[in-house]
Amino acid sequence: MSNPDLESNMRKSVEATQRNFNTIRTGRANPSLLDRVNVEYYGADTPLKSLASLSTPDSQTIAIQPFDMGSLALIEKAIATSDLGFTPNNDGKVIRINVPPLTEERRKEFCKLAAKYNEEGKVALRSVRRDAIDKIKKQEKEGELSEDQSRDEQDNIQKTTDRYIAELEKHLAEKEVEILKV
């Protein structure tokens, strides 16, 4: 695995972890909270953001304006049955979700969830590292690389992994500050 591949795969792991972080509630309304909501639309699981425009008219409200009014009830049902704990209010044209301020207990739960996503991101990075190191060892065994070249490559892979793990830790710290901010 060449270094650009390694960098690319690690970058993708970090971005996936960040997307997971974005779905964790903070005290403010944010349309990305609904990123993982899918709506059963004409027999297909469809992401909410392809069926409606999402906006935040104020810091405690998310407004959902469906492109097709026929999907209004389906969208409302999908939000109500999601694990987000939101109660959608449907006025016939727009669905509004009131995002209540978080309790201290909920904030701590969300910090734990962020830590879990961070750990999953690290596992993904270590998996990419293991694959890259296995490839280097195989090349060494086949005589394509000398023992020194192999060791240097493995050191580079470890340094890259450490850099991306540090980046994940930084994102986790930022998310925790965001969650705990009242």
**pLDDT tens digits for range 57-101:** 988 899 999 998 888 889 998 988 887 778 899 898 899 998 888
3-class DSSP state of 39: strand
Interatomic CA distance for residues 29 and 147, integer angstroms: 55
| Each residue's pLDDT tens digit, 108-124 | 888 999 999 999 999 99
Q: Is this prediction's pTM over 0.75? A: no
Tens of pLDDT along 147-182? 999 999 999 999 999 999 999 999 999 999 988 886
Q: Fold for domain 3-21+103-180?
A: Topoisomerase I; Chain A, domain 4 (1.10.132)
Sign of the CA dihedral running 76, 81, 84, 87: positive
Q: What is the pLDDT of residues 21-67, one digit of tens each?
A: 888 877 778 888 888 888 988 888 889 888 999 999 988 899 999 99
Please give the full DSSP string across 43-101, using - where no structure is assigned.
Answer: TEEEEGGGTEEEEEEETTEEEEEESSGGGHHHHHHHHHHSTT---EEE-SS-EEEE-PP
CA–CA dist 156, 154 (Å, integer)? 5
CATH code assigned to 28-98: 3.30.1360.40
Are the folds of 3-21+103-180 and 28-98 the same?
no
